[in-house]
Amino acid sequence: MNIALIAHDKKKVDIVNFSVAYSTILKNHTLFATGTTGKKISEATGLKIERFQSGPLGGDQQIGARIATNEMDLVIFFRDPLTAQPHEPDISALMRLCDVYQIPLVTNIGGAEVMIRALDAGFFDWRNIQ
Ligand SMILES: O=C(CO)COP(=O)(O)O
């Protein structure tokens, strides 16, 4: 599966800890991330990650484009709901495209815990038969 990993600044520690905890599952998949998120995860885990631009510089839009071309199977996006983001329209657009294309999206660590276990249990096989 193709998985996008994204986190706002105040959630970077959470996504790094999440990626370390689940690196044995994540390593079996093709990973993508926005710029700074990807750098921090790969430094902490050694996982191979294709990095896009940083979010405020277009990274969310690049991931959105992959969704529009059916090249993303899961989006794990640890959003910061308490800090205004300069690129809020890009964030909304990315989430909108997940809904347009019915791509599983989780926006916090609670959802991500469930989703990654579901992925490992084979619950994403429906993505292969579309
Ligand atoms: O801003 C982001 C998502 O909206 C994340 O971007 P970075 O991973 O480059 O910090």
- The pLDDT assigned to 129 comes to 67
Residue 2 binned pLDDT confidence (cut-offs 50, 70, 90): very high
What is the rounded distance in angstroms from the CA atom of residue 67 to the CA atom of residue 63?
Answer: 6
Pocket test for ligand 1, best of 5, 9, 31 (most atoms within 8 A of CB): 9
Q: Convert the pLDDT of each residue in 74-121 to its tens digit.
A: 999 999 999 999 999 999 999 999 999 999 999 999 999 999 999 999
Catalytic annotation, residues: 60
Distance 129 CA to ligand 1 centre (A): 31
- The pLDDT confidence band at residue 127, using thresholds 50, 70 and 90, is confident
- Distance from C-alpha of 72 to C-alpha of 59, rounded to nearest angstrom: 14
pLDDT of residue 128: 78
pLDDT classification of 66: cutoffs 50, 70, 90: very high
Helices H / strands E in the chain, number of each: 6, 5
Domains along the chain with CATH numbers = 2-129 (3.40.50.1380)
In angstroms, rounded to a whole number, what is the distance separating the alpha carbons of residues 125 and 12? 29
Instruction: Report the distance separating Cα 118 and Cα 100, nearest Å.
Output: 22
